[in-house]
Structure 1
Amino acid sequence: MDKIYLWFLLLISCSCSHTKEKVSNDMDSSLCIIDVTCEYPVEKVNIHDVADVEYVPLETTRNSLLASDCSAFRISDDYITVASGVDNGNIFFFNRKGRYLWTFNRRGGSAEEYSSITAWDADFGMQEIYIYDSFRKKIYIYSFDGRYKRSHALPMKDCTFIDLYNYDKDYLIGYNRFYDFRKKKKVDTHPYYLIDKQSGEMSSIGIVVDKPISEKVHTEIVKFPGGAYKDQVLFLITALIKNGDAFLIADYALDTIYSYRHHKLVPIAVQTPSVYASDPPVIVACELYTDSYLHFRIIPMYYNPSAPMSPMADAPELVLNRHTGKIAEWKMYDYNYSSDIERPVPTMILQSADRENYGISMFTAERLIEQYQAGGLKGELKDIASRLSIDDNDILMICKYK
């Protein structure tokens, strides 16, 4: 069983009064400044004050029971879709209220089938599903009912797309996480690509990363009699986040954070001091990008063998108000759940919505039932919990940020 060991980061207190200033660049943008050395003020935030919230219980039937690793949701005005695990191969469809509609599974060994789902997305306008199979280095395209349409063998051998999204009617966009275990580093210095939906052709969007930083902070080949395995510590972070038709590109090795929309890169924030000003490097790892907010963590990228995940797990949840330029550490609560129990900020890590300004979180049925029996729920959550069984699917919390 994997264990997460926690320890406390020591933060240096400092004054952080000015967080937005004019920065000279070729686009003459007013960039928000993220000072990674600061200790920011703490704010207790009710999610209902910053977002319109929907609770969506996903119908549980014999055909729609979701695996515990179902977390990469795709949401439109009409559908909620989700893939069931890397090796399961199911794509589930629910309507926007959570009613189960249908499932398709094209996992298999034929030319029209995938061996596993490494990454995927949906084009709700074209009603197409795109599935990336990292073992075969191919993208498979299906209709919403699972009918095979075409597939593309990617021209790059050294590519791994965990983050793959529908960009527009012509392209997918992906972030290449490929890690060379022999060199113990990422090797692609142009890791952001548009992928043509019709031809499979890949083209870099133009961002150059000279010294890439990997999500992997530790890798080791462990040998034993008769074999060996890869031991690795991987932080659950991403450099590519979708916000409607705009994409946040927050590469860990770059000081500047960009928005990419309509094939144009626009800087929106900059980190100071520089990523490589310290050893180990300190990065800004973003988790949510909306018109009003940028949610992120400040993470020192090092390996602590006694507490491997602590640099990420102990990093506070910081939020930049893009209108004011001010940054605060959010302690998030849902007053329908409990005013005393902190909740994670609904984010868009490996999620996507057809519209802008969305974030997603989840409640397990078991947790809601526990709170209901303890008298900790009210409003719509209380009503939903009263009808749940312990083995029911998760309840989505879909937030449209104001």
Structure 2
Amino acid sequence: MKYCSIRTFALVAILLINACTSSDVSNKNYSTINIADNIGRGYLLNISEIAESVEYIPLETTDSSLVGDLSQVYYTNGFFVLNTFKNSKGILKVFDRKGQFHNTLSRLGRGPEEYTSINSIDTYKNNIVILTFHNIIEYSFDGKFIKSVPVKKEEFCNGYGNIIKIDDSHYMLITMPDSKNQNKYAAIIVDSSAKIKLSFNYPKSEIEIAKNRKKRVKGLDNPVIFSNKSLGKVVTGNDEFIISHSKEYVSIDTIYRINYGKYKTTADNIKRVNKRSKLINLYGQILEGNNHIFFNLNLRTLAHKPMKMIRRGGKDTVMLFPFSCALYDKRDGSFRLIDQPEDYQKGFIEDFEGGPAFWPSYISDDEYLVSFVNASEFIQHAQTHKVSDKFKKIADGLKETDNPVVILVKLKN
């Protein structure tokens, strides 16, 4: 829709002013994600309910392709980009769709085509998008420099901590909360010329919660951003509204309301919060596909089946966590908490090949969910579970020191 009259322009300006915070949202055409009414009810879900296939792709292991500890896998247009704990040295690894090593991106430095740090990564079409504190840099999968977008540091901002490239010329960034100086904005959208197109205010309710926190944990919670079909979305800390933008980047709209019910964190109950508090929070990233949204929740004492997981560190420790994976169906509005299929695993039962439980860490524009499993864990699973011949054949070809195995799950239409 094009805006071509003075009257329309004035109306848009008014909408922009009124839509700056989610507490002032006038749009009532949002869908409700009903968490409150589903507390205490969990389900074991098969991945075949939402997916049409699961594929395991061993990554080539050579001296030059060795990954080490892997933190995240991105996938787009037939290439995997691996973010490892080596990213403090500015090192990323690129593999093709078959798992063959393609390239190492290592451009850490202060030159005009280099990055000073890696705060966040996204992939878009044939490019790798890297966010430093105040700069966006894009490279091809071959490591060729494409462009740089310097993002101005505003007085309200302590830097930028996460990035999503929404379309060919727009990026969504979250600001980094500062415990001393409250951020004015939770997220911004900038274009390829570094112009700020939209700013998403922290709601007043979030600011009040931050003020009332106990001294040792004062400050705003991190915003979460995610996107689907070139529509970026923001949820700010404990706020109940998931907000988005118009296609023209001129106004802010409410897309979803999260119903926390009596378990919602407020400026009043945050004063007394403790391990026994019956409050619910979003935990970690949110992923959105065409039909579903994937959530991670901290249920605290409301967790009916706490997750039994291994905490990695200098010494691995078995711990119970009050977390839950959750699935929202955009088609019928249903919301389900997902029970842990077995100890030390989380997410969906993998009922195609008998592999380990699956929970995505990334979703591509062409509807592939992505995750990974370490080679040693893949081998062990094949030895201790009933798996398909295909899975067993892959395991038989692995060594425990090999690179991880990437998991690609194709979602149903």
| Residue deviations 1:62-92 (CA, integer Å, cap 9, x gap) | 2211131341x33123222223333121232
2:331 counterpart residue number: 323
Deviations 1:176-210 (A, max 9, x none): 1x232435xxx22322211222x223343445423
- Answer yes or no: is 1:359 the counterpart of 2:359: no
Q: Normalization by structure 2: what TM-score?
A: 0.71
Compute the displacement of 1:153 (Å).
3.5
Q: What's the CA shift string for 1:15-64, capped at 9, x where partnerless?
A: xxxxxxxxxx8545252242436424322211123213222222222221
CA contact (8 A) 2:353 2:391 kept: yes
TM-fit CA distance, 1:366: 0.3
2:151 to 154, 163, 183: 154
Match of 1:76 in 2: 76
Given the alignment of the two structures, is residue 376 of structure 1 paired with residue 373 of structure 2, yes or no?
no
Could you say which residue in structure 2 is the equivalent of 1:191? 186
- Higher mean alpha-carbon deviation, 243-252 vs 94-103, is at 243-252
Q: Say whether the 8 Å CA contact 1:40–1:328 is kept in structure 2.
A: no
Amino acid at match of 2:325: E
Are residues 1:240 and 2:225 paired? yes
Quickly say closer, same or farther: Cα 1:312–1:169, change in 2 above 3 A: farther
- Residue 345 (structure 2) pairs with residue 334 (structure 1): no
Q: Which whole-Å CA distance do the structure 1 matches of 2:55 and 2:229 have between them?
A: 18
Select the structure that is richer in helix. Answer: 2
Q: What is the root-mean-square deviation in Å for CA atoms of aligned residues?
A: 3.6
Q: Which residue of 1 aligns with 2:167?
A: 168
Aligned with residue 204 of structure 1, among 194, 198, 202: 198
TM-score normalised by structure 1 residue count? 0.73
SS at match of 1:383: helix
Counterparts of 1:319 and 1:149 in 2: how far apart (Å)?
Answer: 37
Tell me, yes or no, if the aligned pair for 1:243 and 1:290 is still in contact at 8 Å: yes
CA distance in 2, matches of 1:395, 1:115: 30
**Aligned pair in 2 of structure 1 residues 35, 108: CA closer, same or farther (>3 Å)?**
closer
Find out whether 1:346 has 2:356 as its counterpart.
no
Q: For this pair of structures, how many residues does the alignment match? A: 343
Q: Residue 103 of structure 1: CA displacement?
A: 1.8
Q: What's 1:138 paired with? A: 135
Q: What is the letter of the counterpart of residue 51 of structure 1?
A: A
- Deviation of 1:347 after TM superposition, in Å, equals 4.2
Distance 1:74 1:375, change over 3 A: closer
Distance of aligned partners of 1:57 and 1:105 in 2 relative to their CA distance in 1, 3 Å threshold: same
User: Offset of 1:378 from its aligned partner?
Assistant: 1.7
State the alpha-carbon separation in 2 of the partners of residues 234 and 51 from structure 1: 37
Point out where structure 1 has 5 or more consecutive residues left out of the alignment: 1-24, 221-230, 303-308
Change (3 A) 1:322 1:287: same
More displaced stretch, 54-63 vs 281-290: 281-290
- On the 8 A contact 1:300/1:311 being kept in 2, the answer is no
2:322 to 308, 314, 330: 314
- Change in Cα spacing, 1:248 to 1:383, as seen in structure 2 (3 Å) is farther
Equivalent position amino acid for 2:379 in 1: I
Deviation at 1:372, TM superposition (A): 2.1
Q: Is the 8 A contact 2:179 2:220 kept in 1?
A: no
Per the alignment, in what secondary structure is the counterpart of residue 367 of structure 1?
Answer: helix
Counterpart of 1:17 in structure 2 is none
Counterparts in 2 of 1:50 and 1:38: CA distance versus 1, 3 Å: closer
Say which structure is richer in strand.
1
Give distance in 2, aligned partners of 1:108 and 1:146. 15
Q: Structure 2 vs 1, CA of residues 278 and 325 (structure 1 numbering), >3 Å: closer, same or farther?
A: farther
Percent of aligned positions that are identical: 19
Residue equivalent to 2:67: 66
Contact 1:255 1:275 in 2 (8 A): no
